[in-house]
Amino acid sequence: MATNEPETQVERTLRSDSDSLLEAVKEIRDLERAKRGQKLSSPEFHETAEVITDKSRRVFEIARDEEAVGNDLDPASGKTTEDLDG
């Protein structure tokens, strides 16, 4: 059960990281779908693949940061990420 206590900076950072992670994954999915329509090994195909690789690395960075922030949370708050303002 979530409490009505104000959000902490750690909680706000966690929500922001979570939102960023979901957006980055959506972008990768959209790019991968677009790449499927490009001619194999064309300059466009390779450029899109490079963007996907860069965004994938960013996903891992965000996930690492989110995990570190999550380790600083008070588990007794009973809040979920969805309970936090986004």
List the domain boundaries for the chain: 9-72
Look at 8-17, 22-31, 42-51 and tell me which has the smallest mean pLDDT. 8-17
> What is residue 40's DSSP assignment?
T
Average pLDDT over residues 16-42: 97
The residue to which tokens 């009505």 are assigned: 4
CA dist 3 and 21 (Å) reads 25
More confident residue, 41 or 5: 41
pLDDT at 48: 98
More confident residue, 39 or 86: 39
pLDDT at 21: 96
Q: What percent of the chain has pLDDT over 90?
A: 67
